[in-house]
Structure 1
Amino acid sequence: MTPLKSGTVDLVILAAIDEQPRYGLELVQHIGNRSGGLFELSEGSLYPALLRLSKAGWIAGEWQPTPGGGSRARSTA
């Protein structure tokens, strides 16, 4: 796979959460599905990108209860 240009991950994440708020794993699955499996994010690239976007003020996260009453999860919008 060809390395991505700097900022591509950020743009892909922003496009995915522009449609609706999503949790981390949901973001990974959505992006993989939308790209036909050509673009697969790892946790090692996803969470630093989310932190970077949050610090820049481009996104905000909030803690939400998870379905089924499990531990809370943070969604990103």
Structure 2
Amino acid sequence: MTIAVTADVEFAITIEDDGVGLPSDFHKSGLHNLERRAEHCGGTCTIVNHDPSGARLLWRVPLGRTNSNRPKSGR
């Protein structure tokens, strides 16, 4: 398994493994939550099979975006 994290104009996490990959009819369950959180922050989350075997998850969001749902400070 390989995990990479980068942060420049976007924050990105890439996770790759060399297992058997994802079946075509897999249920996303908890992965749906990752997708929803990325979209909420203006980003994306992709989960795909990786050649020649295994799977790859890429979760990324832009940095510097103001989130209107974030609690405001008391200043």
User: TM-score under structure 2 normalisation?
Assistant: 0.28
**Bigger Cα Rg:** 2
> By percentage of residues, which structure has more strand?
2
User: TM-score under structure 1 normalisation?
Assistant: 0.28
